[in-house]
Structure 1
């Protein structure tokens, strides 16, 4: 879903065939970075976890030379982008699944916004605090649902506590750092509340189509497990 949404925003903002400068903060194993490099873009990935960096480098090593030459991997903290790069160095900056692990996100977001060139795109994927009551409520855990209304964190499938953000708060933050919200989507509207042991359906295409439509349609997107926010640098 996030890939489709991101490609939609890139296509709407930049001419077809333009080779973009992309910064992927929290690049993980490099899935998104490699995908964008295969599309012809110049990608810099920043990742703090040494194991993830090693995995990304191994995946990159398996690519043809032309793609390898378009990817640079940097081991470092996403909050230190100003140490490595000049302001306005990138057309697209991605920060997917990172804010939920950062106790105070505002400095990170301000630093990321400075990396975006004028007219460029800042793409964020965050845990949705306005949906935290959905899973316990649908599971019949009424006390858990009541507590979740005012919560700002939840435990993920690995048992780790992850922070969550509210759309209205991030909208104000993006305004304040000069990258106002341009578009937003819900991600995992239906599937986020499914039990962890439920197998994927045989008709995965229909599931994805339902999720894609719900992710861009009110009121469904407002209770998605994740939010994909796209700001544009003024």
Structure 2
């Protein structure tokens, strides 16, 4: 398995990474050199152009961390652009049904397993050096397809989402708390029950579950909880470092 994050999760390890929405290849490199397993280039809430996304992917590769892109939505064009740039995976927000999740998987896979358009001239194929069935099958095996569970509706439909062909179900705790009506209480018992339901469904269907945290304490908490994949918010880490000096 060429994707190290998929390999880690298959071995029962917890992959740890950072979400970054600030365009800076240097910062992406620093995250890699600091030992993060993956970097999620956040193009949902960030302000990247596709050329900038590509440069962030290059920086991640240089520093030995796995580049993943969070796209704006589940449209086929968004998925194609991210993967053709060389992303090893995609995060797709606001997925609420099994049908939506299956459409994401199909858009991320080349035929006969999906509908992803083929161009051997793109960066992911080394601009034409990689081609044919070995490249197509290798990409289908390699790409990490992650969908976000961010609403009560998604939690209700979690079993059908888990059986859609995805590689990872990621809980977006902020969106989930807001959409469920608890924007000021992310640890409300109802939200905890929703998170537990997602985790239990993942275990039942053999699909890893991920979640977002803001600090090391959250990382330890969610790793002990059973998360196979934990993302740390970059700006939270940055502010923590700043305020450790100024306060």
TM range (shorter): 0.3 to 0.5
Larger helix percent = 2
TM-score normalised over the length of structure 2: 0.36
TM-score normalised over the length of structure 1: 0.38
